[in-house]
Amino acid sequence: MEVIYKIMAAYTANASPIESAAFTAPTGAALVADNGEFSRKFNRSDFIFEHGLANHPMFELSALAKLANRIPKFQNFVYWQNGRVKVDDKWSANPAPRLSLEQTIEGIAGNDSLVVLKHAEQDPVYGPVLQEILQRIYSFTSPDAQRDIVLGESLIFLNSPNRKTAYHLDLESNFLLQVAGVKLVHVFDCADRSLTPHLELENHCGGDDNGAIYKPARQNDAHFHHLTPGHGVHFPSMAPHWVQNADELSISININYDLVSVHHRLKRVYRVNRMMRRLGIKPTDPGKSRVRDALKQRLSTGMGAMRKTLRPKRDPTDSYPVRRPTPVSGSSLEARRLDSRSST
């Protein structure tokens, strides 16, 4: 908890009372309502939903530039790329001369860039509305899903007109809420191992952000969503996707959840499988043997604990803050509190 308070204090110290009081956002069902699909489709298949933040002044560029100024300058709290990328580029591609964050945001309407502002749910201005979305979407999911969710976070994306976001997958279960501009979203089946073989997932879980490889021949298998302000799309964990912005600046919110089944189980199996493969041993794929999967999870957990013990201690604020949805009736979330993302 100490980590959370230090980080929130850092945000708060940089926010003026005027900024904090400047915005009134919708709440409750006017913010995001249950359309009946969250429970049925969460982490199974993509679906569209509506939200109440279309073109909201809180997410205009001038306000987001102030948020970017407030973001604590810790590792991984902000990310930006400059230059146009292709669908099969690496996530780390930065094909144009590197601009400063301030230059990138100021000129984003014309500089072919992407900015990701992370952990905005911890910010005193944006925190209340983003935490309410996190909590509401969580409450719309099934009791089984709620038992699986351990952590919620949010990001804000700023994308230049016509810019692509290259093909990739995320381990988190994602909800992308379009606030301004239009995105053309291509999302693929999360469970299709002929599209995303175990080897690609092993590489991703081993730390390779480019583990998922775009296959042009499979493009027609994608679901296509024309995402306009006021609409959102759900990407299940491990569902590959790529995005094409339309011809105007795009602002969107990403709401995402870590899952016990993925971050604390499957990821650990894949990590051990990757290690075995490097030692010349062909591993059994996850899901084929409960006993082997359990042993690999324990081995990975033990190795992680050993690495933690041996590596130099970091500044405690130089890690992810933690936002856990408040358990609702039937959820055992509170009973299974786990360490922050840095422990996985």
The residues that touch Fe ion, with contacts defined as CB under 5 A, are 170
**28, 52 contact by CB (below 8 A):** no
Among residues 157, 151, 147, 141, which one has the least CA distance to residue 171? 151
Considering the complex, what minimum distance in angstroms separates the CB of residue 235 from Fe ion?
A: 7
Nearer to Fe ion, 148 or 170 (CB): 170
Nearer to Fe ion, 25 or 156 (CB): 156
State which H helix or E strand residue 180 sits in: strand 173-180
Considering the complex, what minimum distance in angstroms separates the CB of residue 9 from Fe ion?
A: 30
Nearer to Fe ion, 204 or 296 (CB): 204
Q: Any idea what DSSP says for residue 77?
A: S
Nearer to Fe ion, 173 or 273 (CB): 173
Nearer to Fe ion, 170 or 285 (CB): 170
Considering the complex, what minimum distance in angstroms separates the CB of residue 212 from Fe ion?
A: 10
Considering the complex, what minimum distance in angstroms separates the CB of residue 170 from Fe ion?
A: 5
Residue nearest to Fe ion (CB): 170
Considering the complex, what minimum distance in angstroms separates the CB of residue 10 from Fe ion?
A: 26
Query: What residues are paired with 180 via a beta bridge?
Result: 251
State which H helix or E strand residue 152 sits in: strand 149-159
Among residues 14, 135, 137, 155, which one has the least CA distance to residue 76? 155
Vertex 43: Cα angle to 39 and 47 (nearest 5): 70
Q: Any idea what DSSP says for residue 183?
A: E
Nearer to Fe ion, 11 or 320 (CB): 320
* Residue 253 Cα distances to 41, 121, 256, 284, angstroms: 20, 11, 10, 38
Nearer to Fe ion, 121 or 172 (CB): 172
Considering the complex, what minimum distance in angstroms separates the CB of residue 289 from Fe ion?
A: 31
Considering the complex, what minimum distance in angstroms separates the CB of residue 254 from Fe ion?
A: 7
CA distance 28 to 199: 42
State which H helix or E strand residue 223 sits in: strand 223-227
Cβ partners under 8 Å of residue 188, min gap 6:
195, 196, 218, 221, 222, 223, 239, 240, 241
